[in-house]
Structure 1
């Protein structure tokens, strides 16, 4: 049995909610455009909005079952909720905010206070007032408060949307740590591909209240990038590889893939790391053969898959063994290269254009 099972129907604004999916421990992203019904779905799971019918089960406990007449109130669902804004109590210290849920619920809790504080890096702010915290610190306190309520499920409704880019970069490593350490299912609502690429294990594509697809993050983000109506300029895909070499003199690392290898710039790499990389479609060029004398050192052999034309541009799916890249090139270039499904080609990527989305794990072998 999955840690979370959702099969509900209801209404959000002008369209129907009709959603069914399951999730295990780790981060499941509800991903789609603004207004797709993602936040309403979270509220239905939390119990602050009511479905018309269906069933919600968390860790074997039924929270809602219209056929059986079960509809637990929010305070009995064992669900932690992190909103877009921190919603801290301004008259309470950070420490009192963190422990409020335990105090209000008259329970001791099983998750160690000191461990959560250390995990979120807020040990030096426990006696501070919320008004003295940065936006990122306030969100970390809000996340800590939710974790210390010992939830069986953590819901996060665009928790970084109120932060600027610098603060988002500050808090993302803490969210990664929670994904690894919490051991519970986390539903994460976002319409930002970079966040989903870094955090999500599974992606549920939501469109007008309905599930358009469920699967691994790489496959779902690629599907979303190719969907009609998606912002082609933001299209990106994920690939995974293992670091097999480091050149400290040039601050580069070699990441081996199934069909070739990438040379990437940056620090923080170590041999044996398995990394997830985010590649924007606009940063991928295509050649019919490898070329010497280029500053672009990454030239990956691949096979052309689907090709979608959109006016002056074409979105080309490139297969790297079992993994995929998407390239956004001009339609004229696609014709000049005579691209067609099944044709051999080379994907060209600048080292500086590939983002390390996250470290999956680190191995000890060669």
Structure 2
């Protein structure tokens, strides 16, 4: 998808040029950054002041040529913050409603969608008997059965409590990694969601793109810290489950060695992505001894980014993976840290929450 968009609001202008390819492209930014406006423009619910939208070589919107394909003809499946199910229809009837908009010869089998989203036991239920997570799964099934060329997801988990959010995240991971290979444009202001799901990350600020690129590159960029938030910023790395130990800990294999965490509910050999918050990474010039932290990884400093306050973002190369640490300016000076300095990254086993571990 290729999108050029310019739209004026009172005291605010959205102005961007965006490309979204395969996998999940996440739009992240604070409230008012323009995320939902982008979804509305792509879906056809908003006629922008200026814009051009192209999907698979087909022009769906071009204000200069007065092209504005109606929403129902654009073939985008949209899932909103609230599920918007039809209350008088059963789950089965709600998901089947999507087939009305599927083109002839659609290759998305109904049974596969039901299996993918775990809807089999819910088909005869009424929407008012479902949990929030179940309702969102039904809304997602309805969107998939219209055989969309792309899914648009606008804060789909924002209205869910923590338990329900964790219930639906694995289904979204299965959708991303499964056979459908459907591109997804995903809007969220929750860092834990985008780091678990996204392949590409677009950071928005005041209606403009402040940074974009592969998720791991953007998350480990010190310049992105103020855009993401100092308490939420961090890096995303890959790991493989190596063993589940009898003391309740799981050992993960990294490029740089091993990482020990409280029991991870994944089979041995499973490949995971881990979000490590920058504020949870300590730096030592020499390998610490007599310390409770179990995770000590050899590293070298590849970047030091000073902000306006007392904090400094330090980029570490750990076995070819980039890990971000946020420490104080005073610590940088006292340790005499410089680009190229060899050091050790220290992490407590409990710093990586289960919500920060994805497939």
TM-score by length of 2: 0.91
CA displacement at 1:273 relative to structure 2: 3.0
Cα pair distance change 1:104/1:63, threshold 3 Å: closer
Q: Which residue of 1 aligns with 2:184?
A: 186
Q: Which residue of 2 aligns with 1:135?
A: 132
Tell whether the 8 Å contact from 1:224 to 1:230 is kept in structure 2 after alignment: no
Tell whether the 8 Å contact from 1:242 to 1:257 is kept in structure 2 after alignment: yes
Q: Which residue of 1 aligns with 2:258?
A: 261
Say yes or no: does 1:209 pair with 2:231. no
CA displacement at 1:358 relative to structure 2: 1.9
- Structure 2: distance between partners of 1:92 and 1:184: 27
> Pairwise mapping of residues 52-91 of structure 1 onto structure 2 (< 5 A)?
52-91=49-88
Tell whether the 8 Å contact from 1:236 to 1:326 is kept in structure 2 after alignment: yes
Q: Which moved more, 1:327-336 or 1:116-125?
A: 327-336
- Structure 2: distance between partners of 1:323 and 1:106: 44
- Structure 1: distance between partners of 2:170 and 2:321: 26
Structure 1 residues not aligned, in runs of 5+: 360-366
Deviations 1:22-43 (A, max 9, x none): 2222111011111100100111
> Pairwise mapping of residues 238-257 of structure 1 onto structure 2 (< 5 A)?
238-243=236-241, 245-257=242-254
> Which of the numbers 194, 197, 220 marks the counterpart of 2:195?
197
Structure 2 residues not aligned, in runs of 5+: none
Q: Which moved more, 1:328-337 or 1:45-54?
A: 328-337
CA displacement at 1:226 relative to structure 2: 4.0
> Which of the numbers 255, 264, 275 marks the counterpart of 2:272?
275
Cα pair distance change 1:31/1:12, threshold 3 Å: farther
Q: Which moved more, 1:111-120 or 1:158-167?
A: 111-120
Say yes or no: does 1:358 pair with 2:355. no
Q: Which residue of 1 aligns with 2:229?
A: 231
> Which of the numbers 283, 288, 295 marks the counterpart of 1:286?
283
- Structure 2: distance between partners of 1:225 and 1:255: 29
> Which of the numbers 27, 33, 37 marks the counterpart of 1:36?
33
CA displacement at 1:71 relative to structure 2: 1.4
SS where residue 232 of structure 1 aligns?
coil
How many residue pairs match? The answer is: 355
SS where residue 154 of structure 1 aligns?
strand
Q: Which moved more, 1:78-87 or 1:286-295?
A: 286-295
Q: Which residue of 2 aligns with 1:126?
A: 123
- Structure 2: distance between partners of 1:343 and 1:131: 59
CA displacement at 1:156 relative to structure 2: 0.2
- Structure 2: distance between partners of 1:104 and 1:322: 47
CA displacement at 1:190 relative to structure 2: 0.6
> Which of the numbers 5, 8, 31 marks the counterpart of 2:2?
5
> Pairwise mapping of residues 99-118 of structure 1 onto structure 2 (< 5 A)?
99-103=96-100, 109-118=106-115
- Structure 2: distance between partners of 1:256 and 1:348: 16
Tell whether the 8 Å contact from 2:222 to 2:313 is kept in structure 1 after alignment: no
Deviations 1:41-85 (A, max 9, x none): 111000110122332122232211234432101010001110000
RMSD of the alignment, in Å?
2.2
CA displacement at 1:201 relative to structure 2: 0.5
SS where residue 234 of structure 1 aligns?
coil
> Which of the numbers 13, 18, 22 marks the counterpart of 1:25?
22
> Which of the numbers 151, 155, 162 marks the counterpart of 2:152?
155
TM-score by length of 1: 0.90
> Pairwise mapping of residues 318-357 of structure 1 onto structure 2 (< 5 A)?
318-355=316-353, 357=357
- Structure 1: distance between partners of 2:45 and 2:228: 31
SS where residue 174 of structure 1 aligns?
helix
Deviations 1:250-303 (A, max 9, x none): 343433333333223313344433321111112111111102221212111112
